[in-house]
Amino acid sequence: MLEDMGRVKKRVDGLILDELLPKSHTVPAIDLLYTMMRDYPARPGKGMRPYLCVTSCEAFGGKEDNCLLTAAAIELFQNWILIHDDIEDGSEMRRGSPALHKKYDWVLALNTGDALHARMWESLLRNRAALGESRTFDIMAEFARMIDETTEGQQMELRWVVDNDWGMSEADYYLMCTKKTSWYTVISPMRLGGFVAGAPTSSVDSLVEPGKKLGVGFQIHDDVLNLSAGSKYGKETADDLLEGKRTLILIKLLSAADPQDKARIVEIFSMSRVARRPFMGEILDLIHKYDALGYAAARSTELVNDALAMMKNVCWTGNEGAARRIEEIARFAVERDW
Amino acid sequence: MLEDMGRVKKRVDGLILDELLPKSHTVPAIDLLYTMMRDYPARPGKGMRPYLCVTSCEAFGGKEDNCLLTAAAIELFQNWILIHDDIEDGSEMRRGSPALHKKYDWVLALNTGDALHARMWESLLRNRAALGESRTFDIMAEFARMIDETTEGQQMELRWVVDNDWGMSEADYYLMCTKKTSWYTVISPMRLGGFVAGAPTSSVDSLVEPGKKLGVGFQIHDDVLNLSAGSKYGKETADDLLEGKRTLILIKLLSAADPQDKARIVEIFSMSRVARRPFMGEILDLIHKYDALGYAAARSTELVNDALAMMKNVCWTGNEGAARRIEEIARFAVERDW
């Protein structure tokens, strides 16, 4: 499965870098814009989302070749929104290198995100030739929905940080995470594969609920990795903590901690990022004391198991091997150590 | 003409605020996102771009009703890109009130721009019902081109500021301004009106060159107003100067100034925005000494006259009154004092 995922990733990357994104311009500032647009797409990545899209397409009887533009547009989506997310979150690193706004002036990075966003829609318009107008419209409507959901989730998360709010419940977290992660990571990639294949609306709609759980499970696993991973992981280790990111781990920690520990945790996260840096070890110790990592890991596995059980009811109409591969991708999402 | 422009603006605003943008949400953070998305669209504006679009549509024999969604999407484009521009430029005010990132936390404003961007595409997808698939594709492709041009122009301008570069020529300025202003202000609004009306490609393409000149003329007039306007103008008076915006006025000033004055100007603009604030009067005096405002105003009029001469060759196939109204809009663009 991993090998096949790598193969699809390579095809999608080739399409993005060779055909969808502009290469050079005689005006230096515009040439720099193009260089910056190509920066995140050229960085290493697992390519799980485009693979899920292509695999879902095959599971509904569609062809990989017809799905590549849409899979590439999913990658373009992730790249432009990550540029903006990294600015919003003040992230230092992305996929093993400095975040775009750390490598270049941040105002140029913001503008680059917008330029890349437009290229995503341009790429989707190209579907018209191979898929026809009706399917292309379905695909574009799904992208609009996906961005609506993602920006709503992002707004929820940003506001917690802006307001120094630590009162969110697990239910608040699941809603935020469904919107911010599940839609663009799982639900839309699978649904888009269905639209490319011309699957019936009822089948495509049946992917939403299991996709929500799968996406949240994936995100929790990602957050657990961020606090436990070594060099394999592209982001600065534990930078989630430094950013004050509201993860299930921290939410569990806050609800499980005794009043004294809880007060200390909130005190540390009320400091500026620079000021709180020396206390990250203390937070990690508390995370271990209350086994918040273990709790989160267990929830992640549980969510994926629930999702897989629900997916048994999805009426795949195509390649049976592909339908099984979707389960493998789901398992991989919560078992990977990178 | 102004009355008619106000009438169209009202229709477009109604469409945006009543139908295209979401109104409320039970989750407070998402409700805030919606409030923020509706903020710039609800502020007063001339509505010149949607009016140009609707008028061009009629001049090509199309109907205003069929053009409203596209005209509204032009307004949505302007609103999301202004949110991001205001962040990038560090602008204080927009249309008479604090810029969105001054009214709310700037990271929330950045995310709001992205959310509004997606709603723009969603609005365009709705054209399918009344215009059919083929025209809707033409319209969306034009929007993609418009954003490509605008972000390239923005990158040129931002880089001058980031690099503290004052070596640009008038030709550099015209290229930047064509990309950053002409496309979304004139060229695309007129072309989009043509696409809605189903005008032939050759006619729609003949709008590009005059539109370039008209847009630059419009922008120069806007910059002249910024330095001379009173309370009628929505932005902080002379805030262009404070932002170090590269206008034709400043470029002319630098090329006309004697070495001593030139060195002083560059010295002042090399200061931080806060540090340069007390010296804006000195810059204004130099602008008057070298009559840079007069030069810019004359160039603006010249460009619009050139554009109008070129537009005589456009083959309007519809309402003659509408074709004449386009000339009136062009005159208005360089004669208005607000």
What CATH number has the domain bearing residue A292?
1.10.600.10
Q: Can you give the pLDDT at residue A242?
A: 84
Nearest by CB to A155, from B111, B152, B162: name it: B111
Helix B248-256 vs helix B280-289: angle between axes, to the nearest 10 degrees? 70
Chain A (156-185) residues lying within 8 Å, Cβ to Cβ, of chain B: 156, 158-162, 175
Residue A67, classed as helix, strand or coil, is helix
Confidence of residue A1 (pLDDT cuts 50, 70, 90): confident
Burial environment of residue A319 by CB neighbours within 10 A (0 to 12, 13 to 18, 19 or more) = middle
Confidence of residue B229 (pLDDT cuts 50, 70, 90): low
Q: Can you give the pLDDT at residue B241?
A: 86
Q: Beta A97-98 vs A93-94: how paired, if at all?
A: antiparallel
Report the pLDDT averaged over residues A303-317.
Answer: 94
CB contact under 8 A, B158 and A107: yes
Distance from CA of B229 to the nearest CA of A (A): 28
CB contact under 8 A, A147 and B110: no
Q: Which domain holds residue A97?
A: 2-335
Q: Can you give the pLDDT at residue A232?
A: 46
In this structure, what token pair is assigned to residue B153? 């122009």
Q: Can you give the pLDDT at residue A189?
A: 98
Q: Is A200:A63 a contact under the CB 8 Å cutoff?
A: no
Per-residue pLDDT tens over the stretch A248-283? 999 999 999 999 999 999 999 999 888 999 999 999
Question: What is the pLDDT of chain A when averaged over all its residues?
Answer: 94
The answer on pLDDT for B219 being more than 50 is yes
Q: Can you give the pLDDT at residue B231?
A: 36
Distance from CA of B184 to the nearest CA of A (A): 14
Name the closest residue on chain A to residue B152, using Cα atoms: A30
Q: How many CA atoms lie within 13 A of A229 on its CB side?
A: 21
Nearest by CB to B159, from A29, A110, A118: name it: A29
User: Does the interface ipTM go beyond 0.90?
Assistant: yes
The answer on pLDDT for B237 being more than 60 is no
Per-residue pLDDT tens over the stretch B82-109? 999 999 999 989 999 999 999 999 999 9
User: Which of A151, A173, A178, A195 to mutate: most B Cβ within 10 Å?
Assistant: A151
Name the closest residue on chain A to residue B179, using Cα atoms: A30
Confidence of residue B1 (pLDDT cuts 50, 70, 90): confident
Question: What is the pLDDT of chain B when averaged over all its residues?
Answer: 94
> Which residue do the tokens 């709180």 mark?
A276
Q: Is B183:B142 a contact under the CB 8 Å cutoff?
A: no
- Tally of CB atoms within 10 A around A163: 11
Overall number of domains in chain A: 1
The answer on pLDDT for B236 being more than 80 is no
Helix A106-125 vs helix B106-125: angle between axes, to the nearest 10 degrees? 20
CB contact under 8 A, B30 and A152: yes
Chain B (287-326) residues lying within 8 Å, Cβ to Cβ, of chain A: none
Distance from CA of B249 to the nearest CA of A (A): 22
Name the closest residue on chain A to residue B36, using Cα atoms: A155
**Amino acid at position A54, single letter:** V
Chain B (136-155) residues lying within 8 Å, Cβ to Cβ, of chain A: 137, 140-141, 143-144, 147-148, 151-152, 154-155
* SS3 per residue for A264-312: HHHHHHCCCHHHHHHHHHHHHHHHHHCCHHHHHHHHHHHHHHHHHHHHC
Tell me the C-alpha distance between B90 and A323, whole Å.
50
- Tally of CB atoms within 10 A around B146: 22
Contacts of B113 in chain A (CB under 8 A): 114
Tell me the C-alpha distance between A141 and A106, whole Å.
31
Q: Can you give the pLDDT at residue A234?
A: 46
Rounded-to-10 torsion of CA B227, B233, B236, B240: -40
DSSP structural state of residue B97: E
Which H or E run includes A128?
A: helix A127-162
Rounded-to-10 torsion of CA A322, A326, A331, A337: 90
Contacts of B135 in chain A (CB under 8 A): none
Q: Can you give the pLDDT at residue B304?
A: 95
Q: What is the pTM of this model?
A: 0.95
User: Which of B77, B104, B151, B154 to mutate: most A Cβ within 10 Å?
Assistant: B151
DSSP structural state of residue A164: T
In this structure, what token pair is assigned to residue A42? 């050229």
- Residue bearing the bigger pLDDT, A338 or A15: A15
Q: Beta A93-94 vs B97-98: how paired, if at all?
A: unpaired
Q: Can you give the pLDDT at residue A267?
A: 94
- Residue bearing the bigger pLDDT, A227 or B82: B82
CB contact under 8 A, B140 and A121: yes
In this structure, what token pair is assigned to residue B330? 């062009």
Distance from CA of B62 to the nearest CA of A (A): 23
Name the closest residue on chain B to residue A30, using Cα atoms: B152
Taken in order A62, A66, A72, A74, the sign of the CA dihedral is negative
For residue A57, how far is the Cα from the chain centroid?
20
User: Rounded to 5 degrees, what are φ and ψ at A98?
Assistant: -55, 140
Report the pLDDT averaged over residues B158-185.
Answer: 96
Helix A280-289 vs helix A259-269: angle between axes, to the nearest 10 degrees? 150
Tell me the C-alpha distance between A185 and A332, whole Å.
14
Chain B (204-263) residues lying within 8 Å, Cβ to Cβ, of chain A: none
Report the pLDDT averaged over residues A26-36.
Answer: 98
Q: Is A300:A224 a contact under the CB 8 Å cutoff?
A: yes
Residue A166, classed as helix, strand or coil, is coil
Tell me the C-alpha distance between B184 and B178, whole Å.
9
- Residue bearing the bigger pLDDT, A334 or B261: B261
Residue B48, classed as helix, strand or coil, is helix
**Amino acid at position B46, single letter:** K
Largest distance between two CA atoms of chain A: 63
User: Which of B24, B110, B120, B155 to mutate: most A Cβ within 10 Å?
Assistant: B155
Confidence of residue B232 (pLDDT cuts 50, 70, 90): very low
Contacts of A155 in chain B (CB under 8 A): 29-30, 32-33, 108, 111-112, 115
Contacts of B29 in chain A (CB under 8 A): 155-156, 159-160
Name the closest residue on chain B to residue A116, using Cα atoms: B148
Q: Is A124:A70 a contact under the CB 8 Å cutoff?
A: yes
Q: Can you give the pLDDT at residue A229?
A: 59
CA angle B147, A23, B114 (to 5 degrees): 30
Q: Can you give the pLDDT at residue B233?
A: 46
